[in-house]
Amino acid sequence: TSRNGNTIIECGYDYQGRRYMKKVTQNGTVASHERYLYRGYLQIAALDMLNSRNVLRTLLWDPLEPTATRPLALAQDASLYCYGVDFNKNVTEVFDAQGAVAATYDYSPYGQAASTGDLVQPVQ
């Protein structure tokens, strides 16, 4: 809850520690309510609970990585994005369908992320 009480963010977690729900309430009105679907520990979709459970985004993961995986693509807002990663499997760029850079990420030695671009996406 924000200090002035105008914004409340609620999250729900399952027995495996995965966040399955996020609800944001502003001034007493639910502004967003998302549910998340998983394959193992990997989030594969987000559903909009305020809009007939429409799919907000889907994530595709590298099937050749059994434990420490890396994201391959994101389908969001009727657009397809591809991820660029470094050797530590940190996301460093996100490319749109035309190959243009939609967002970039740089990391400090302790994992602090700095980003450029206006793309809002769940994986860094």
Residues near 11 by beta carbon (within 8 Å), at least 6 away in sequence: 19, 21, 22, 23
pTM for this prediction: 0.81
Gyration radius (Cα) of the chain, Å: 16
Handedness of CA 76, 21, 103, 42 (dihedral sign): negative
Q: Which of 100, 117, 122, 96 is nearest to 44 (CA)?
A: 122
Taking only the tens place, the pLDDT of each residue in 51-100 is 898 999 999 998 887 666 889 999 998 999 999 998 888 899 999 999 99
Query: Region 13-35: what's the mean pLDDT?
Result: 95
Residues near 77 by beta carbon (within 8 Å), at least 6 away in sequence: 57
Taking only the tens place, the pLDDT of each residue in 25-56 is 999 999 999 999 998 888 999 999 998 989 99
Q: What is the largest CA-CA distance in the chain?
A: 47
Confidence of residue 4 (pLDDT cuts 50, 70, 90): very high
Token pair in block for residue 49: 């609970």
Confidence of residue 111 (pLDDT cuts 50, 70, 90): confident
Confidence of residue 110 (pLDDT cuts 50, 70, 90): confident
Q: What is the pLDDT of residue 14?
A: 96
Q: What is the pLDDT of residue 44?
A: 93
